[in-house]
Each structure stands twice: as structure tokens, then as C-alpha cells.
Chains A and B, each alone.
Chain A
Amino acid sequence: MNGKVSRRDFLKAGGAGLAGVALSTLGIGTILGSETTAGDAQAAPGQELMYVCPVCGEKAEDFDGLRKHFKEKHPELESPKNMVLRINGADVGVYVEDHWTLRETLLRAVGLTGNAKEMCDRGGCGSCTVLIDGKPALACTTLAVECRGREIETSEGIAADPAYRPLVEAYVKYDASQCGYCTPGQFTVAKYILNKYPDPTEDQIRTELSGNICRCGTYSRHVQAIQEAAAAMKGGKS
């Protein structure tokens, strides 16, 4: 296994920064390097989106400002709600509407898009799988308001966790991504599999991943990667 995964490999323009909301615990800081590096590298789309009026697009300084804006400019509409979501170990205050799914919230208010992928419209593909209290859940069919007080884990957070570095390395080693669109969802389930089965069999892995569709047919690569990561995480090969 090539262990030379440099920070530079993670310094990609595509990586979302989320300055100001506990970067390192969310996983973004570790993925992108230091918080300073992330902030220097690009704008922080999550922060930009957090207090933007969804009706007229006007930006507020903070949540109270957004609420005030609603009362003044859109008195006929219900004022927005703020809530705290615990994502990748960090408490994140986000603007959210009652009908927003967790997927929409991750995309529009948080800026973590790994598990905000939409393939199917209706809970049929697994691309948006997150872990809620350690178990796989579909972010597209879970309302954000249901997640209050619950631990949400996304692919970004798992990838940033040093304990799961062997899983990341095994995934990139075996090209477990082809086009990559479904990969964060599969990778998230992979953590669940490793927690559930210390030494997972191929049947166990395929069964647990059966809700995650990959049109590129990378399934066998996930089996290889998860089994190798399991061995490495038990103190075996690395």
C-alpha cells in the first residue's frame, strides 16, 4: 500500500470549506489541511449560504438578522427556524425550513455535499446515505428537523477521522470510485460495516451495500477495500 497520501492530495478546489463552524471536527479542516489553508484556498460556500433568504436571496449577517428580514420583507410567510445539528462531532447552527430534508440542508445550509447526492428522487439509490446515531439513513427521506440532538456523520467526517484512514487508503487503492457520484454514500456505509463486522465477509458486505446503487459496477472493489481496511484496522497489514 502506498502510504504517501499528502496533504496536497486533499488540497483540491472542489473541497468545500466551512470556515467558522468547527472545521476540524466537521472533517473539512482535516481534509483540506489547516483551517487557515482552507480559508485561503477558497471562499467558504457554507458560510455564505447559511443566512441567505430563500425567497429573495438577500443575505443577512446572522440568524436574527434573517428573522428580522423575514418579518419586514415577507410578513405573509412564516419566519425561518434555526436549529442546531450535530454533524461530524460539531454543533452547527443552521437555518432550516420544516420541510427541508437533511440532504437539502447539507447542500443548501451546511455546504457538505458528499452525502447530498441525489440519484433517484425517492430513497432508492443510497447515494445520500449518512450515519445517524451510527446507523445508515437516507438523507433524502429524513427531515432535518428530525435530526435534532442526533449524531450525524457524513463521508467528509469519516474521511477526516484518522481511525478510518485505512478505509480511505483502501478505497483509493482499489479504484472503488469510477465516476464517483455514489461513492461517498457507499463509503459511509463502509464505516457502518466495519463497526458491525470486525472481519466482514463478502456476503455481509454485499448485503449491507445492497441499497447503494453504482451504475459503474464497482461493487467488487468495495468488497476488496472494506476487507483490506478491516484487516489493517485490526492491526494487520497497512
Chain B
Amino acid sequence: MGGTSTWVLEGTNDDRQDFKVVGTWNHPGRQSWDMVSGAAKYPTDLYKEGTLVAMALRCPYGHAKVKSLDISEAEKLPGVKLILTYEDEELASMPINVPSYYELGRSPLLGDEGEFEGDECGAVVVGVSEEVCRKALDLIKVKWEVLPFVLDCREAGKPGAPILRPEMNPDSNMTGNTFGAPVKWEIGNVEKGFKEADYIEVIEYGRPMWNQFRPMPPAYFSYWDNDPWGNPDGEKMCYVTNHAHFPSNGPIISASMGMGVHEDKVRALTPYMAARYCDFVEKRGAQLAPVLSRRLGGVPVRCVSTRRQAFDANVPQTFFTVRIGFKKDGTLVAVQSKNVHQTGARGGYGDKTHGHLVLPANAQGFKSTSCPNIYSEMEYYVTNGACTTADPGKDAWEPVNLAFAKIADTLKMDISEVIMKNVKITKPSLESCMEAGKKAFHWDSKWHLPGTKRLEDGRFHGVACRSCWSMTWGMISYNINLRMNTDGKIYMPYSEALIGTYWPDAVQLVIAEEMGMKLEDVIVYYAANYPNWQKGDAADRGSTCTWAAKEAAVQLKKQILETGASLFGVTADEVDLVDSMITLKADPSKQMSLVGIGQLAVGYCGKPKVPFQNDVIRTMNVDFCEVAVDPETGMVEILDYCSAHDFGKLIRPSSGLGQLEMALTMASGRALREEIIWDPNTGVLLNGNMYDYKVPTSLDQPTIETVPVETRCGGGAYGSTGVAHAHCDAGLVGLAIQNAIGKFIPMAPYTPDKILGAMGTIS
């Protein structure tokens, strides 16, 4: 067993024990009715009189450069309003700045080089309809210079590989497809550790590029119109749709920076943007749509991407080879990890050719084990294929859990024991999750040594479990403004585009709880451009913004009580807020409504003192999986998922548990079938549609049992913490398959060909 967390709850009332609304069910979200009825307007739903459509020319090759363009015939087509090429001066000068975190980095907004098949380059057409745009694009005569391409980051790192972005490190003697030296670090003395080990094994883990599959294909919609309160500075307002959750109002930032206007002249049109799963890549349409609209006098312009074109940003490849040394009792004593990572066509996530790597998979996860000797080396290479997004899972823990499984397999141990033996901090969180999860999953009756159990139908049976952090993103401060209006209601504006986590509704519960208000008297409402800095809706930051909301609520309550006390003629200590009424403590029958007592407001900006990312091991979770493997077909069926997640404090159960269901459903798709496939000979995407890239349907969704654990050890309000990021990983299914067939499969997804290959049925 590992150590004990010494975390002390911080902030006002984080140790609260009495809850009226926090943790309770049946609180429909502010937007729920609109989402169900269809009244909610998403960017694809916006259509105004005179709306024009914009579509870009797409590179048809794995890598190619425009040698010449002839747009003369396309311009003659009726319905075509504008065609801009890469030679357009304004486009060539954009982006003026480099908005970090966005795809619109140092690559030109519309260049002459297609860095992957489907990349927007060369020209953009604006017409009255998609049909007109498609015809116009067909009429553009293009001469392409086809360039060499690389699709696999391991190949991109080899000597002699084609140099895809020679400008990235022109003076370096490093392999040309990287933009920096390998990231290396060491803790302890790894060679010494291996000498002390009783066993040394090697594990392999790889994942292909896969697609988060955002439900709504990008459809940036923009127009310029008068400022609603006039044009005080003589400039019109740019209205844009929102497609990025992190930071939110991404198009506002992208558009304003790209066009060199201030952010106050750009306004978001709708809070709805459909889901993003830590995919904060912004598309070029974010800047193209406002520019094209401005060129055409401000008319509405919609930049259209088809579903296939939406496969231009994917979760990157990563490959691990890890040598582990461990003792006879299963204690890990040495880790030597090498990781080759893909940075996508632009370099880094999105378009950051300056090499900004976010959440790279390397040996970071091993830092949360008690292993004293760790060496990590990570290389990263640009490839063709697509831009890259962040991973909605927690891939740093994939090799860790694989190492635990390898130890368990070698020593014929129960993997749950190996986890508890090697994770550095196990109390109270991991221990609670493991205990609750094993009980709910019936682990003790299901677990067996690898390859030793068949079901009655002849299929192999396997189970596995894995551990991970429950993430809290403590790097972000939230700006919460609360106002008591003359109607006696409490109002909180927010501006973030919504991706499905119901964070404003969780915040509503916290505010009501802290203030003693009825839930219906706390109004959270969308206010375009309101800066909840750091902006953004994300599963794991929701807990952080509840913390800021709690602090703000406490401050506003104090003001209200001081006002109410003066009206009662008593001191503030003698009154309380009960069910939205100022109540005399000595005589609760004496109450005063908040209606009409005035207007009060507070603002609070801050965050809990929670460490970021790699050290967050106070709140943990354990997932369990049971599979059946057909030895004849290689088909894998996930029979049961069980997730014991330490929420710290579960604030809004419906959405909190919904995040687990979401992440594990996505994980099942990743594990069994999701993979981006290109033609190795042409670099052309082969499965960019919903039939060949199959995400889980209602029939594919496994049984998912959620087991909430509450240790109050997180960084959000009342010790709450994040959810979804911790669970969207493929590896657990692979471990269960190993328990079934006795073989490790080094590469996800775990498709029948790999299963049969591992079993020796096929070569």
C-alpha cells in the first residue's frame, strides 16, 4: 500500500457537510428544453437572409503544392460571389498574430501547400449555395506539384525520411521532421534500479491516429452588422459562431487577432457548439468566415466543412517501448521509457509550429508510482495525415497500467494487488475506489489467471482493472460575477459555449447551497462575450469554476445579510438566508423577502491551490472491464464496464455520472474499432465517413456501472474534482483481452485480425 494524501481542504465552507441541493438529482439544465425540442440553435442551424456559402479548395494528395491556379472559368459561374486565392494580400498576411492553442499558427491562413489530403489550400470560393461552390471548385484549374509524404511518426524520425517542414529547424542537425531535441528526464538511477530488479520485461503500447468525431462538422457563420448600441467608434460589429471550448469564444479570439480588431468588436452568436472532447483545434473557417463576410460588405457567410473534411484534425499517434524492472513481490523498481509521438501536419497540436506540445504521452504517469528510478525519452515528429488535437483520455497512464499488467502476468498476481502495491498515494482515494469498484464489479469472483477461463459458448473470458488520476485542472482562474437584482433573484452570467458538461447548472447548485437560496431563485444565463476568464467549458474544469462560484456566493451572502440585518435592526450574525428569505435566527418565523431590498453584486476571480496535471493523485479512479473473446472470429465483446470514480464531491450526479458514461462509451469505440486509415501509397484518407469510421451506437454501448466515490480530496467546491478525462482510454480493454487469451496486443484498436494474430490463428 502507498502513502496517504495530506491534502487540506481550502476555501470557505469546503468542509460543508449539510447539503440541500448539491448532490441531488432531478435538476434539468438551463438549456435542456431547447436541446430536446430542437429550439436550440447550433452554428449549422443559423441561416439568415442572403446567407452565402464558402468552401475551400482541398488538397487531393497526401502532400502537394499548388504550381498554378486558373480561376477564370469558376468566376464566371452564376452564383459565385467571390474567389480568393493564396495570392490575396490580406489572406497572405494572416494570421497577423499567433493565437496560442489554435490551429491558426504560423502556417498561412490559406497557403499554396496542402500538408495532407483534405488540407485547405490554394483558393476559397464564396457562392449562393454549396452546389454552386462545388461546381466552382471543380472549374478551378489547378496544377499540383506532388510532394513526398510520411504518415507514421516512427518513419518520419528515421534518417532519410522526407523533410516535410524544412523551415522548422533549418540550422539544426536533428532529424528534419522534429522541431526540438527529444525530451529526456530521469529520476533516481535507472541502471542501478535494473540491477536491483529480479525481473526485467519490455512492454509495447501503440495507438493509431483516431478521431474524436465532434458531432457537428465545423460550420463557421459570420456577418458584420451595426453595433446594437450604435457604432461609437465607426466600426461595425463582427458576429461569429463558436466552435471552441478552450478557451471559449475561440473564434472571437481568432477572428479579432486575425483581423487586427479588438475583441469587443466580435460577438458570439450562440452558446451551442455541440461537443468537443478536449479538441481545441480551431479551424481556418474561424478567420476565413469573418474576412470573407467583410469583403462582401458584411453579408452572412458560412464556411462549410463536410463530415469527411472534418477528419482533418485527429488525436495523434503515439508509440511506447518501456523496459521495466521489478521485484519478486511485484514492486516496480526501474522504468526506462521511450516514446515516439506524432505532432501532426502543423507541428504540435493544431498549428503551432513553434512546438507547443500539450499533454504529451510520455512516462509522466510513472511519477505517480513509488518506483524510485525512471528514465523518459520522448521524440516528436511532424507527419502528413492531419492536424492533431489533444487526447480526451489520459494516455500517460496507459503504459503504467500496462506495466502493472505485465508484472501481474509474470508473477501470476492479481493486477488489482499490483496497482495497490505500486501507486505512490493510495489513501484515501485509490483505496476507496478499488474497494468500492471490486465489490460492484464482483472482481473476486470474476478474476482469474490469464487464458484460463472459457464461457459456456466457447469464448474466452477476461477481466482487468486499471487506475488513473481524477483530473482537476487547477491552472485556471474563473471569474464569477454574482448579482442580486431588485426581483430578489441571484444572477450569474456566463459566456462559454456549451459542450455537454452542464457546468453552469452545477454552479447553480453550489450558489444556491452556499447562499441559502431556492434553486429557482438562482439564474445562470448566457451572456455573449461575458468573460468568465479563463474561459472554457470542459469536464475537468467544471469543478474549478464551482469553487470560484462558491467563494463569490459566500461574499454576496455576506452583503445580503448585512443589508437584511440593518433592515431588521439587528447585527448580521443574527440573521441567515433560508429558502431565499432573510430570516431572524432567534425567531425563524420572522422573515424578509429579498425582493425590492436593493441591488448587490460581487465579483470573484480565482482558483483553488491545486497542482496541475501530473501531481494530482489525491483523487483517483479505478475502471474494471469484462470481455468475451471469440477464438474463431477474433471478435471481442465488452460484457461489463464498471467505473469507481472519486468525484471528491459529486455536485450534480446526473451530469457527473453522464460524463463517465460518455467517456467509457468513447473508450469502447477506441478500443475495438476506431482508427484513421490512409492509403499508404497515396496518403489519401480511406475511412473518412461514418460507415467506415464507426463510432459506438446504442447497440454497441456496453453495460456501464458507475460507482461514485466521495473523499472530498479534490480541488473544486467541497473537494470536487474532474471526471471525463480519466476514462476515455483504450488500454483497459486490451488488458482484459490479455486476461482472456493470455497474450498482450501492442497496438490499439483491438480488432479481430490482431486478436487472431496474437492467438496464432493467422499470421
Contact = CB atoms under 8 A, between A and B. Distances in A.
A234 interface: no
Contact of B666 (A174, A217, A222): A217
B45 A113 contact: yes
Interface string A1-19: 1101100011010111000
A69 interface: no
Given A14-B272, A55-B78, A215-B666, A181 B216 contact: yes
Interface in A166-221: 168, 171-184, 187, 205-207, 209-221
A168 B37 contact: yes
B44 A178 contact: no
Contact of B32 (A54, A121, A177, A210): A177
Contacts of B217: 118-119
Contact of A220 (B39, B663, B701): B701
Nearest to B309: A121
A99 B654 CA distance: 43
Given A52-B50, A178-B658, A180-B500, A117 B42 contact: yes
A175 B658 contact: yes
A202 B424 CA distance: 42
Contacts of B306: 121
Interface string B497-533: 0111110000000000000000010000000000000
B192 to A, nearest CB: 46
Interface in B10-40: 26-29, 31-40
Contacts of B701: 206, 217, 219-220
A134 interface: no
B689 interface: yes
Contacts of B704: 220
Contact of B36 (A12, A27, A159): A159
Contacts of B26: 1-2, 173
B546 interface: no
Interface in B26-81: 26-29, 31-42, 44-45, 47-50, 78-79
Contact of A176 (B36, B48, B50): B36
A57 B50 contact: yes
Please classify the interface of chain A as helix (H, G, I), strand (E, B), loop, or mixed, using the class held by over half of its residues.
Answer: loop
A222 B698 contact: yes
B39 A55 contact: no
Interface in A115-148: 115-122, 124-125, 127
Interface in B247-306: 270, 272-275, 277, 299, 306
Nearest to A190: B36
B762 interface: no
B591 interface: no
Given A57-B299, A182-B215, A217-B665, A14 B40 contact: yes
Contacts of B275: 178-179, 181, 215-216
Contact of B215 (A16, A154, A160, A181): A181
A51 to B, nearest CB: 10
B586 interface: no
A180 B47 contact: no
Contact of B35 (A119, A120, A180): A180
B136 to A, nearest CB: 14
Contacts of B308: 121
Contact of A179 (B79, B499, B698): B499
B658 A172 contact: no
B213 interface: yes
Contacts of A27: 37
Nearest to B659: A178
B420 interface: no
Contacts of A207: 698-699
A112 interface: yes
A20 B272 CA distance: 27
B307 interface: yes
A207 B701 CA distance: 12
Highest count of chain B CB atoms <10 Å: which of A107, A218, A221? A218
B225 to A, nearest CB: 13
A155 interface: yes
Nearest to A116: B45
Q: Max chain B CB contacts within 10 Å: which of A127, A181, A183?
A: A181
Interface residues of B, number: 68
B33 to A, nearest CB: 5
Contacts of A14: 34, 39-41, 270, 272
Contacts of B41: 14, 16, 113
Pick the most buried of A49, A182, A217: most chain B CB atoms within 10 A of its CB.
A217
A52 B52 CA distance: 12
A122 B270 CA distance: 26
B307 A120 contact: yes
Given A48-B49, A108-B47, A121-B307, A218 B662 contact: yes
A154 B697 CA distance: 22
Nearest to B656: A175
Interface string A215-237: 11111111000000000000000
B691 interface: yes
A45 interface: yes
A171 B36 contact: yes
A111 B675 CA distance: 37
Contacts of A218: 658, 661-662
B518 to A, nearest CB: 11
Contact of B49 (A52, A173, A176, A216): A52
Contacts of A154: 38
Contacts of A87: none
Contacts of B35: 177, 180, 183-184
A172 B36 contact: yes
A215 B49 CA distance: 32
A47 to B, nearest CB: 10
B732 interface: no
A80 interface: no
A221 B698 contact: no
Contacts of A35: none
B698 A118 contact: no
A53 B217 CA distance: 26
A68 interface: no
A31 B39 contact: yes
B655 interface: yes
Smallest CB-CB A-B distances: 9 pairs? A114-B38, A217-B665, A178-B500, A180-B35, A159-B37, A179-B275, A15-B39, A184-B38, A172-B28
Given A14-B41, A113-B42, A210-B699, 18 more contacts: A2-B28, A14-B39, A14-B270, A15-B37, A108-B47, A114-B38, A122-B689, A172-B29, A175-B29, A177-B36, A178-B275, A180-B42, A183-B36, A187-B37, A212-B697, A213-B215, A215-B214, A216-B500
20 contacts: A16-B39, A52-B50, A54-B128, A107-B45, A111-B47, A112-B38, A113-B41, A122-B690, A124-B690, A168-B37, A173-B26, A178-B658, A179-B215, A179-B274, A181-B42, A215-B212, A215-B214, A215-B275, A219-B665, A222-B698
Interface of B: 26-29, 31-42, 44-45, 47-50, 78-79, 128-129, 131, 212-217, 270, 272-275, 277, 299, 306-308, 498-502, 520, 654-655, 658, 661-666, 689-691, 695-699, 701, 704
